[in-house]
């Protein structure tokens, strides 16, 4: 499965999905996604234990940061 296949398969979208890669991201791949009149950023990446990068922890931090409105909501954290 390609990254675009994974992104299109997310159960978040209504209507056509436009995906464009974003530059940057040392340990993940970033995409700008336009769907249903809204714009999103999708980050894909695996755990990298040798760099102490664990996606479940990253998702927990994103949810905690959203609670006091420090950042945008993490819509669908998961593996990949």
Residue ranges making up the domain that contains 24: 3-66
- Residue 44 in contact with residue 6, Cβ under 8 Å? yes
Q: Does residue 74 lie in a domain region? A: no
The reported pLDDT for the residue numbered 24 is 84
In this structure, of 15-24, 31-40, 57-66, the range with the lowest mean pLDDT score is 57-66
Element (H, E) at 23: none
- Residue 17 in contact with residue 39, Cβ under 8 Å? no
CA 9 to mean position of chain CA atoms:
13
Residue 12, token pair as written in the block: 């978040």
Residue carrying structure tokens 């390609």: 2
Q: Does residue 39 lie in a domain region? A: yes
pLDDT tens, 10-19? 999 988 999 9
Q: Does residue 31 lie in a domain region? A: yes
pLDDT at 47 over 60: yes
For residues 23 and 30, give the distance between their C-alpha atoms in angstroms, rounded to a whole number: 7
Q: How many domains would you assign to the chain? A: 1
Q: Does residue 73 lie in a domain region? A: no
The reported pLDDT for the residue numbered 59 is 84
The reported pLDDT for the residue numbered 66 is 72
């Amino acid at each position: 499965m390609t990254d675009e296949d994974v992104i299109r398969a997310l159960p978040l979208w209504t209507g056509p999905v436009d995906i464009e890669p974003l530059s940057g991201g040392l340990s993940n791949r970033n995409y700008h996604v336009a769907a249903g009149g809204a714009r999103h950023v999708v980050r894909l990446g695996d755990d990298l234990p040798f760099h102490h990068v664990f996606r479940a922890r990253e998702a927990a931090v994103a949810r905690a940061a959203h609670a006091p409105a420090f950042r945008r909501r993490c819509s669908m954290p998961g593996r990949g």
